[in-house]
Amino acid sequence: MTLYAASTQRTIGLVLAIVVAIGFAVYVLINIRAGRKEIGSEIELAPNRKRYFEDEILETRRLDIALTAGLAMLIIIALCLPLYWLGEPGRQDGFENLTGNQFASRGSEIYEEQCTRCHGAGGVGGEADYTILDDQGRYITAVNWTAPALNTILYRFSEEEVTHILNYGRPQSPMPAWGGPGGGPLTTQQLEYIVGYLIEIQLTPEQMASEVQEGLRESVLKEVRDVDPGATDSELVELYNTLFDGLGDAYLHDLEIKQNPEADVEEIEEAEEDLQHLLDDYLVDLAEKNAAKYGEYLFNNPAAAGSYACARCHTAGSSWNADDRLASNSDLVGLINPEIPGSGGFGPSLIGVISQFTLAQDQAEFISTGCEPNLQYGLNGVCEPSGQMPGFGVNATDLEGSVLTQDQISAIVEYERGL
């Protein structure tokens, strides 16, 4: 609509410009023709020596023509100015769209070159190679460190906060500094392009909610599996059935359909949906009966390479699965620490967080908004000037929608207060 306004305006302008150009050309042509005659007869034809109109004509016909022309000019100006002004907002929007698109497309190129290998194509999340060293800088082990999805980042951090992260990177993590202030290779302009691209790829609130839910389902299934990694399929089915009525049967059905070469797409989808519905029912039930456990799943949510989770910043080692590494390689025992839930990593330890926030309500409020530079919170908390604790609620940034619902945040608080 606004673009249309701008282009109508452009057409009118173009027509006017063509009329003026043609008029000017005609004027020049006539002048040249008239000028030719003059050659050699300047004296006879010099304008100041020619006899002009009589007063009678000058004061009637000539005057009328001049006045009418003046009036016509006035009308044209009076009409065109408002018309031009009417199109102005459209032009403004068109310009902003154009520059926004240019930012995003330039940012997309830089992103592909510099970020995709860790954060995945389109910012869906990925992994980074990293080497764990001891205090003396000696090699301990090589790990894969999850690089969170960036297609939800602007729901958690403001554009300024994202720019800060890009400038300085994340200390003690594979995320390098990219901007001049942190000693990185990219210019301020290039960082702006990247942020422009990130704006373009943000998910909708519905898409976020469904990713969060998918991560929770995965967590439920995995937790039961982890109880006994050697369990057979039928033992697993038994365990799932014990957890929630019918869950094991749905799991088995899904498994069988997927292994059956004759099953068609519809049957597979149906079996998958049945399993999802049961898991969703279980999670609704859990949220009601055991909010702290539901909160624990949310705290550790593996979806989108941890971008919905708290553990990656508040539980050391969770980004590279320290526990799994320890379980699979006994040589590492004593060299790396097991994951201690909420023990602190990039963010502070949350063990005993109850003394920071006497009221659960205040804690939920803080998690919802996250840090703003130098914000004071709780008993004696003060945010870093860069505001690095993300916000997970509706009031975290200017974007509409939120990473987690109010109920989910309350459940996390319930879990945290038990740490």
Residues at the site binding ligand HEC, with contacts judged by CB under 6 A: 114-115, 117-119, 128, 145, 147-148, 150, 153, 162, 165-166, 170, 173-175, 178, 194, 307, 310, 312-314, 319, 346-348, 350, 353, 356, 363, 367, 371, 381, 383-384, 388-390, 392, 412, 416
**What are all long-range contacts of 246-255, with beta carbons under 8 Å and residues at least 24 apart?**
246/278, 247/275, 247/278, 247/279, 247/282, 250/274, 250/275, 250/278, 251/221, 251/275
| Residue 342, both tokens | 């909420």
Q: What are φ and ψ of residue 197, in 5° steps?
A: -70, -45
Q: Would you say 37 or 170 has its CB closer to ligand HEC?
A: 170
Q: Would you say 148 or 341 has its CB closer to ligand HEC?
A: 148
Shortest Å distance, C-beta 121 to ligand HEC = 13
Using an 8 Å Cβ cutoff, are 365 and 389 in contact?
no
Shortest Å distance, C-beta 214 to ligand HEC = 17
Shortest Å distance, C-beta 137 to ligand HEC = 19
| Residue 52, both tokens | 């002009």
Angstrom CA distances, 121 to 104, 157, 198, 227, stand at: 15, 21, 12, 34
Q: Would you say 13 or 176 has its CB closer to ligand HEC?
A: 176
Using an 8 Å Cβ cutoff, are 322 and 336 in contact?
yes
**What does the alpha-carbon distance between residue 417 and residue 42 come to, in Å, rounded to a whole number?**
104
**What does the alpha-carbon distance between residue 196 and residue 233 come to, in Å, rounded to a whole number?**
48
Shortest Å distance, C-beta 152 to ligand HEC = 8
311 C-beta neighbours (distance < 10 Å), count: 22
Within 13 Å of residue 4, how many CA atoms lie on the same side as its CB?
A: 1
Q: Return the C-alpha torsion angle 389, 394, 116, 325, nearest 10.
A: 50
Shortest Å distance, C-beta 224 to ligand HEC = 24
Q: Would you say 275 or 367 has its CB closer to ligand HEC?
A: 367
Q: Would you say 6 or 177 has its CB closer to ligand HEC?
A: 177
Q: Would you say 260 or 361 has its CB closer to ligand HEC?
A: 361
| Residue 50, both tokens | 């020619």
Shortest Å distance, C-beta 320 to ligand HEC = 9
Shortest Å distance, C-beta 419 to ligand HEC = 10
Q: Would you say 291 or 412 has its CB closer to ligand HEC?
A: 412
Nearest to 177 by CA among 410, 386, 401: 386
Q: Would you say 44 or 384 has its CB closer to ligand HEC?
A: 384
Shortest Å distance, C-beta 198 to ligand HEC = 7
Shortest Å distance, C-beta 213 to ligand HEC = 16
| Residue 383, both tokens | 């945010």
Q: Would you say 6 or 310 has its CB closer to ligand HEC?
A: 310
**What does the alpha-carbon distance between residue 366 and residue 370 come to, in Å, rounded to a whole number?**
5
Using an 8 Å Cβ cutoff, are 341 and 311 in contact?
yes
